[in-house]
A and B are shown apart, each in its own frame.
Chain A
Amino acid sequence: MRQVIIIGSGPAGYTAAIYAARASLSPLLIASSVEAGGELMKTTEVENYPGFAEGIQGPELMLAMQAQAEKFGTEIVMDDVTKLELEGDVKRVTLGNGDVHEALTVIFATGSAYRKLGLEDENRLSGYGVSWCATCDGFFFRQKTIAVVGGGDSAMEEATFLTKFADKVYVVHRKDSLRASKAMQERAFADPKIEFLWNKEVAHIYGDTLVTGIGVVDTVDGSETTIDVAGLFIAIGADPRTHLVHGQLDLTEFGTIAVDGRTSRTNIPGVFAAGDVIDPTYRQAVTAAGSGTVAALDAEHYLAALPKDLLSLATEPVAASV
């Protein structure tokens, strides 16, 4: 049994691992099979992570965090958690490969998952012109006209990135102003390839085998127009990834995991949460990293207060195979 299992491998998960490992808690980190590194693996230049004056590539930053966590003794498993049993002193974590790991504490840092528009043809055309990842798929839209839907930082980043490939990028936003940061807005406004479609909502996605166009509805007068595009990049935010803990951990009205004040403590003793999964507001790499630190320190304090006989169980970092 372990002292700490960390679920998630974004800035929150890896930072929690760095702190827990340096505190000699020999953490096991479950990184996910195909999404290890989290959202930053799909970004390009990160310009606002302190310490990197020249900026750093998102994937590079995450691999560096992983290396730092491993350096101090974090064991990392590239698999997905399929089941969590959090009640009681000993928590059980079941993985996709069937392994069951036990620990005295769990730090839950699963981040968030891209939000969908909820349109009929969205899933059918996903991968056929509908995308959530400009850095993955932008390459295939050279000299094409495409649309980005959304008004936040990630929408501006995608739109700006996509102008490297596309001839024209529409940004479809349902309001008449953006919530993106000033710097991102100015960059997008200055780009001659980007055209903003204000007060418009995507109502239809057209295309038989590939996207050929979208129908946008004016949120002011209700009129609908069709725009020919070869691709639609969706950047309308993300929802906290909490399905593994439904019915176990309390959630907030925003759908994030409820924690006690400024701590990472959930409603179950020994279970801590960190990063975007508890944060409906800021959701930055560096706030997630800070949140991961809080969780590791909270877990450390919790462990220090446990009875000795219970702690003595957590000496063997060995997986039980079933």
Chain B
Amino acid sequence: MSNAKDVTDATFADEVLNSSDTIMVDFWAEWCGPCRAVSPILDAIASEHSEKIKIVKVNVDDNPELSMKYQITSIPAMKVFRGGEVVKTVIGAKPKQALEADLAEFLA
């Protein structure tokens, strides 16, 4: 379905918080239609800007701690992390052009 790597409650610190890269975390679930719709768009953005941003996925069903910690109340929720901090949040499935505009500062 998606090329993005899954991260979990257990691996989040290593994969995201302690990473030196800019990482966008896509909080999603199997039962969320808009999540499935936006998934290939995120894949496309990740592959077109692989030098700038990495995209990983957190399944909210399987990882309640992360969903709680980042106060997720709506998915898809896409949070950009730099140096362990959330620097941008985008909520809801959007067309590719709109997502690229939201993420412009990280893709340039």
Contact = CB atoms under 8 A, between A and B. Distances in A.
- Which bucket holds chain A's interface residue count? 20 to 34
B41 interface: yes
B72 A140 contact: yes
A242 B42 CA distance: 28
Nearest to B40: A78
B91 A126 contact: yes
A96 B101 CA distance: 13
Interface string B64-108: 000100011111010000000000000111111100000000000
A110 interface: no
B95 A80 contact: yes
Interface in B16-46: 29, 31-35, 37-38, 40-41
A137 B75 contact: yes
B31 A34 contact: no
B60 interface: yes
B74 A127 contact: yes
A127 B34 contact: no
A136 interface: yes
A160 interface: no
A97 to B, nearest CB: 8
Given A34-B94, A80-B95, A128 B73 contact: yes
B67 A140 contact: yes
Given A33-B95, A96-B95, A96-B96, A136 B74 contact: yes
B37 A34 contact: yes
Interface string A122-148: 000011110101011101110000000
Contact of A34 (B29, B67, B71, B95): B95
A215 interface: no
Contacts of A131: 73-74
Nearest to A36: B37
A127 B29 contact: no
Contacts of A231: 73
Contacts of B34: 34-35, 41-42, 133, 136
A59 interface: yes
Given A42-B33, A96-B95, A137 B41 contact: no
B82 to A, nearest CB: 20
A210 interface: yes
A34 B41 contact: yes
A33 B75 contact: no
A139 B31 CA distance: 10
A209 B89 CA distance: 12
B42 to A, nearest CB: 11
Contact of A137 (B37, B73, B93): B73
A226 B94 CA distance: 33
Contacts of A78: 40
Contact of A59 (B33, B92, B93): B33
A78 B36 CA distance: 13
A33 B96 contact: yes
A37 B36 CA distance: 12
A57 to B, nearest CB: 10
Name, among B73, B91, B95, the residue most crowded by chain A CB atoms within 10 Å (CB to CB).
Answer: B73
A35 B77 CA distance: 16
Contacts of A32: 95
A140 B74 contact: yes
Nearest to A37: B33
B75 A136 contact: yes
Interface of B: 29, 31-35, 37-38, 40-41, 60-61, 67, 71-75, 77, 91-97
12 contacts: A34-B93, A35-B93, A41-B33, A41-B37, A42-B34, A97-B96, A131-B74, A136-B74, A136-B75, A139-B31, A140-B72, A140-B73
Given A59-B33, A127-B74, A128-B71, 14 more contacts: A33-B37, A34-B34, A34-B38, A36-B37, A41-B34, A96-B96, A96-B97, A126-B92, A127-B77, A128-B74, A129-B73, A131-B74, A139-B61, A141-B73
